[in-house]
Amino acid sequence: MKLFGDSSPDNLDFKQWVEMAKNDPELFEKLRQKAINEVIEKAPEAQRQRLRCLQWRIDQERNRSQSALGLCLWISRLMWESVTGRGGLFESLTQVKEIAHGGEPVPPPGKAEVLPFRSRLT
């Protein structure tokens, strides 16, 4: 018995995905992988390896996570880091703005020497 009719990833809405995850986890996982692979294959060639690595990282965290909420928070943090973190979207847009206004792009910060400090406890 097929619960989901035409169960290609493009033909399922969110409610169907939820129902499938509850009622047929194996089919859900198979179609989840298929949908992810389709998105990666549609990406420009230069980005595919990075996307595969990112998906691997997400899958590992999914396997390790003890709760769906914890995983959601981890993914949210990961996305915000890609926007606001070093080399992220915000930094890139700031450099484009500076160049557009006649300025030079700000070089990334150089490496710094880490100084050892003695502990106050000893």
pLDDT at residue number 33: 93
pLDDT at residue number 21: 92
For every residue of 27-56, DSSP letters joined together read: HHHHHHHHHHHHHHHHS-HHHHHHHHHHHH
One digit per residue, pLDDT tens: the chain, 122 residues? 344 555 556 667 899 999 999 999 999 999 999 999 999 999 999 999 999 999 999 999 999 999 989 999 999 998 898 888 888 888 888 888 888 777 776 677 788 888 898 888 76
pLDDT at residue number 53: 94
Considering the entire predicted model, what is its pTM?
0.61
- Structure tokens, 58: 């997400």
pLDDT at residue number 97: 81
CA–CA gap between residue 10 and residue 82 (Å, rounded): 27
Which residues are within 8 A (CB) of 51 and not within 5 positions of it... i.e. 6 or more apart?
Answer: 39, 40, 43
- Within 10 angstroms of residue 20's Cβ, the number of other Cβ atoms is 21
Q: CA angle, 10 as apex, 80 and 14 as ends, to 5°?
A: 60
pLDDT at residue number 41: 95
pLDDT at residue number 10: 67
- Structure tokens, 119: 């502990």
